[in-house]
Amino acid sequence: MSLEITFLGTGSAYPSPARGASALVLRREGQCWLFDCGEGTQTQLMRSHLRAARITKIFITHLHGDHLFGLPGLLCTLSLQSTPDASKAPVDIYGPLGLRSFLWRSLELSHSQLLFPYTVHELVPTPDQCPPEEFKDFSGWDRGEELPQGPPGRVLHLDPGEDSYLLVEDEQLVVRAFRLFHRVPSFGFVLEEKPRPGRLNVQKLKELG
């Protein structure tokens, strides 16, 4: 399995003429996975060798603006480059609780309609992930409101035994989120490659002693 990492932005708080806000792309098996999407990420993508249309998963570490203000714009640009296809697999977006509402409201208020499906998988934080005065419980944010066109997706809780959140698992790797401690609930992501059994010619080894 080959993995390639491209840093699109390493700036803190805001972008600069020569340095974008937080964004990183991992390229794997022809797919691109985007980690954080600060302001200007799509411009950085255009300057890179990467193709934005290959983004299949997006991971947001936390809900500070310098890590996600570029996301609605990127999704809209991807939509402009797309054609309607009901059979297309959705873009999976992972991030803290509240991300689904942020995206839905941003796209709804800007009258933006995406031509491709997307799902939002929200991670439920624990109150001890940030100072008590900064913790906001978004679990009832949309209670009582109908989101008829809101994106589908899972709500993921911490697995106490693993002290992490299981996000993705396939034949080659496992992706988990773990808690970080910041001013607001934050998450890090771990990609762990599964063991690959070797191929040995047992008979040949015996012949060679």
- pLDDT tens digit string along 167-187? 999 888 999 999 999 999 999
- pLDDT tens digit string along 39-86? 989 999 999 999 998 999 999 999 999 999 999 999 999 998 887 776
Binning the chain into helix, strand and coil, the percentages to the nearest 5 are 20, 30, 45
Angle at 183 (CA atoms; ends 101, 157), nearest 5 degrees = 50
The model's pTM is 0.89
Q: Which residues are catalytic?
A: 66
Q: Are strands 173-180 and 31-37 parallel, antiparallel or unpaired?
A: unpaired
For domain 4-208, which architecture applies?
4-Layer Sandwich (3.60)
